[in-house]
Amino acid sequence: MDLNCAVVLVAAIDAGKADSSPPQFCDKLAKINVLIIDDLGLSPLGIGQGYDFLDIVVDRLKGGSTIMASQLSVEHWYQLLRDPSMAVAVLDRLVHNARQLALSGETMRKV
């Protein structure tokens, strides 16, 4: 399974809900050695999607590595996740177990 974009991740979770398989999908994510979520925060997550994201984060703490890339600083994740209590739960699990790299300078994606 190759998920490299948060939008794809959210779409896959929603698709899993449509066919009643979100637990199986989340189980697959939990077993991946390295999960890369790129461009997290391009659009806010719905409340349900935020809770699904929290479930994934919790499951990932049991093993495996997760790499997240976002143009948003952690302080702006509260708007991304919409529910303050859920945002605190996600950030508490991520920030205290993570290495953060803040990049600065010009973009490498010049046209």
pLDDT value of residue 13: 67
> Rounded to whole angstroms, what are the CA distances from 8 to 2, 42, 89?
10, 12, 22
- For the residues 28-41, what does the mean pLDDT come to? 81
pTM: 0.72
pLDDT tens-digit series, residues 5-15:
445 666 666 66
pLDDT tens-digit series, residues 53-101:
888 888 888 777 888 888 888 888 888 888 888 888 988 888 887 888 8
pLDDT value of residue 3: 40
CB 75 within 8 A of CB 84: no
